[in-house]
Amino acid sequence: MRIRNKNKKVEHFFAAVNVVASAVVTATFVLLYGFEEPAFFSVRTLQIIQVVAFFVFVIEKIVRFVNSFSKREFLAANWFEIPLLIGLMVLVFGARKWFADPGGVIMFSLGTYLVCQVVIKACRSCVDLAASGRNPTTALIAVFVILIVTGAGLLMLPRFHNLERMSFVDALFTSTSATCVTGLIVKDTGGDFTMMGQVVILGLIQLGGLGIVIFGAVLALLLGQALSVRESVAMQDLLSTQTLGRISQMIGFIFVATIFIEAVGALSMLNMWDDAAGTVQFAHQKWFYSIFHSISAFCNAGFSLFPTSLLDYDDHIGVYGVIAPLIILGGLGFGVLYNLFQVFYDRIKRSIRRRLNRGVIFETAPPMKVRLQTKVVLSTSAILIIVGAIALMLLEHYSPQPDHDSRFKCALFQSISARTAGFNTVDIASLSDASKICLMSLMFVGGSPSSTAGGIKTVTLAVIIMVAYATLRKRPHVEIFRRSVNPAVVGRAITVGLLFSVILLGGTFLLSITERHSGFDLIDIMFEVSSALGTVGLSAGVTGSLTTAGKLIIIATMLIGRLGPLTLLAAITFNLRTVGYEYPGEPIIVG
C-alpha cells in the first residue's frame, strides 16, 4: 500500500534513517549473540544503542504519520504498530511487579520489538525492490545474493558453529546450498553447527524455498497491507501466474498451504526419532528434528541433521509415508496445488449445494477445471517417479535386505528424492555408473514450475518430447492433452534445455580442471555438477574434498540452478527491444 505524503524529502530522509537504524540494530544482535563475549562494546553499551534505535523507530513513525495526507491510510497500513507498542509498554512498566529479572524481561521485549521492525522493513523493501519498475529478475538475483552473504556471515560467528574456525568459503557454500535449497554440504549440519547455526540454516531453507520476495508479500498481506498494482505485477512475474486479480489469493494460499503441510509433516515425524539413540534424547529435540526435516523435505532442500542423511532409516515407514509425500508436494509447484485445491473445493461446494437445493438441476457457473499445466505436471511427475524407480531397481541391487519389496522401496524413494530433494537412503558413492547416470537424468529434469525444486522442470521436458513427437508425426503444432502449445512456450522450453546442457557441460569441464589432482572419476564430477545445477543435494562423495576453486564453481552452479538460466538470461537481455522486421526465408537442411 502506497501512502501519499506531503513532503517527499522528509519521507526519503526517514527511509535512509530506517536503513541505518536497521543495520545498527542487526549489528548489535550480532555482537550480543554471535560471540561468547560481546566484541568491541560492552553489553550495557549495546543495550543503550538498542534503546536509542527504539526511539528512532518511534519518532520515525510519528513524523511519517504527521507527514501523510490521509491519517486513516497510514494507520490502516501500520495498524500492527499499535499492539506492538502497547504490549511493549505493558511489559516495561509491569516487569518489576511480575518478574524476578525485570531488566532481562525489558531488554528481551525491546529486542523482540526491534527484530519485528527489522524483519518487516526488510521484507517490505524486497517487495518494493521487485516492484520498482526495474528488471524484476535483477531484483530477485540481488535479494538472493544478499540473503546468501548474510547467512554466510552469521554462520561464521563463533556461537553458530562447533569448529575452531569456519572459513568464509565453507560458510558461503553452506549458506548458498541452504538458500538455493540444494543440500550439498561441506560441513556436517548436525555436528559442526550449533542449534543457533542450524536455525539459521533452517531459516535460509524456508526463505530460499518460498522466495524472500514472496515471503515479504505474505507478511504484507498478513499485516493487512494490500498490494499495489505494480507490486501485484511483480508477484505475477515471480510466481509465473496468469491471473493478476488473484495474486493476493495465490500468495495467501502459498502461506497457508506451506504452514499446514509442514506442520502435518512435523507432527507425523515425531515418533520417527525414537530409534536415534544418543542423538535425540529430549522432547524439544524431537520437535526440532521433526520441524527441521519437515521443512527441508517440503522445500526440497535435502538437508539432514544426520551425517549419513537418512541411510539409517532406509526401512522406516516415516521415510516413505511422510518425507516422500512432502518431497512430492513441494516439487509439484504452488500453481498446481492451488488449482487442485480450487477444483476440490468447487466440487465439494457444488455437492453441498445440490444436496441443500434438490430442485436445482443446472449450475449457473461452469465447474472449475483442472488446467493443462496441472495435467502435464501430474502425469510427467508420475511417469518419472515410476520409470526412475523401475530403472534403479533393475540396475542396482543395493538393498541390505534380500527381499524384493525392500529394494523397490529404496528405489522408489531415491527416484522421488533424486528429482528434487537430495535425501538418500542408500550410499550414492557405491552405486554403479549406470545408476548414477539414471539419477543424473532425474536431477537434470528436476521438479515443476513455481515449485521449490530445480532442474529444467517437468513441463519443459514434456514440451520438448512433444516437439519431437509433433515433428515425427508431421503435425504443424505441438499438442498436449488435445491443446495446442504456444510457439513462444516451445521456444522457451528448448532454450531452457539447451542452456542447462551448456551449463552442465561447462561446470563439469571447469571442475575437471580444478580437481585434476584429486583422482575423482569424471562421472562423479559430472554427478556433483548435476546435483548442484538441479539443486538436488545428492553427492557421490566429492563435495567434502573439493578445492576452494571447486567449491566456488559449485556455489555458482547452485545459484544458477535455483534462479534458472532463463532468469539470468532475462536479466541480461531485459532492455533489448523486439525487432519490428523479418528477413526473407530460405530453406536449410538439418539432421
DSSP structure string for 284-343: HHHHHHHHHHHHHHHTT----SSTTTTGGGTT-HHIIIIIHHHHHHHHH-HHHHHHHHHH
pLDDT at 400: 47
Phi and psi dihedrals of 486, rounded to 5?
-60, 135
Strand runs labelled E in 377-477? none
User: 315: closest CA among 235, 165, 421, 426?
Assistant: 426
Taking the CA of residue 406 as centre, how many other CA atoms within 13 Å lie in the half-sphere pointing to its CB?
Answer: 13
Whether the Cβ atoms of residue 497 and residue 415 lie closer than 8 Å to each other: no
Residue 234 lies in a domain: yes
Whether the Cβ atoms of residue 299 and residue 206 lie closer than 8 Å to each other: yes
Residue 271 lies in a domain: no
Distances (CA, A) of 526 to 286, 441, 513: 37, 11, 12
Q: How far apart are CA 72 and CA 79, in angstroms?
A: 10
Q: Which amino acid is at 180?
A: C
β-strand partners of 480: 483
Whether the Cβ atoms of residue 376 and residue 481 lie closer than 8 Å to each other: yes
The CA-based angle 534-538-544, given to 5 degrees, is 115
Instruction: From first to last of the 591 residues of the chain, give the pLDDT tens digit.
Output: 566 777 778 777 878 888 888 888 888 888 888 887 776 778 888 888 888 988 888 888 888 888 787 777 777 767 777 777 888 888 877 877 787 777 888 888 888 888 888 877 776 676 666 555 555 667 677 778 888 998 999 999 888 999 888 899 999 999 999 988 888 889 999 889 999 899 999 989 988 877 655 655 554 554 444 455 444 545 555 555 555 456 667 777 887 888 899 999 999 988 888 765 556 667 778 889 999 999 999 988 889 988 888 888 877 888 889 999 999 998 888 888 888 988 888 888 888 877 777 655 556 667 788 888 899 999 999 999 999 999 988 887 644 444 444 578 888 899 999 887 888 888 888 888 888 999 999 999 988 887 878 888 899 999 999 999 988 888 888 888 888 888 888 888 888 889 889 999 999 999 999 988 888 889 999 999 999 998 888 888 888 889 999 999 999 999 888 877 666 666 665 556 666 777 887 888 776
Whether the Cβ atoms of residue 76 and residue 224 lie closer than 8 Å to each other: yes
Contacts of 582 (CB under 8 A, 6+ apart): none
Q: How far apart are CA 192 and CA 240, in angstroms?
A: 38
Domain coverage including residue 153? 8-240
**Total number of domains in the chain:** 1
**Phi-psi region for residue 581, left (φ > 0), alpha (ψ -120 to 50) or beta?**
beta
- pTM score of the predicted model: 0.84
Contacts of 27 (CB under 8 A, 6+ apart): none
pLDDT at 244: 47
Whether the Cβ atoms of residue 568 and residue 141 lie closer than 8 Å to each other: yes
Give the residue carrying C-alpha cell 504443424: 476
Q: How far apart are CA 388 and CA 440, in angstroms?
A: 11
Residue 174 lies in a domain: yes
Indicate the burial class of 6 (C-beta count within 10 angstroms; 0-12, 13-18, 19 or more). Answer: exposed
Residue 278 lies in a domain: no
At 44 the three-state DSSP class reads helix
The CA-based angle 278-537-520, given to 5 degrees, is 100
Grid cell for residue 425: 537412503
Residue 31 lies in a domain: yes
Grid cell for residue 346: 468447487
| Orientation of helix 8-33 relative to helix 102-130, angle to 10° | 130
Residue 337 lies in a domain: no
Contacts of 342 (CB under 8 A, 6+ apart): 368
Grid cell for residue 427: 550410499
pLDDT at 402: 43
Contacts of 171 (CB under 8 A, 6+ apart): 151, 152, 153, 155, 156
Whether the Cβ atoms of residue 538 and residue 424 lie closer than 8 Å to each other: yes
Q: How far apart are CA 187 and CA 184, in angstroms?
A: 9
Phi and psi dihedrals of 233, rounded to 5?
-65, -40
User: 562: closest CA among 439, 388, 446?
Assistant: 446
Residue 232 lies in a domain: yes
Q: What is the dihedral of CA 160, 164, 167, 172, to 10 degrees?
A: -20
Q: How far apart are CA 250 and CA 413, in angstroms?
A: 30
Grid cell for residue 545: 574434498
Residue 72 lies in a domain: yes
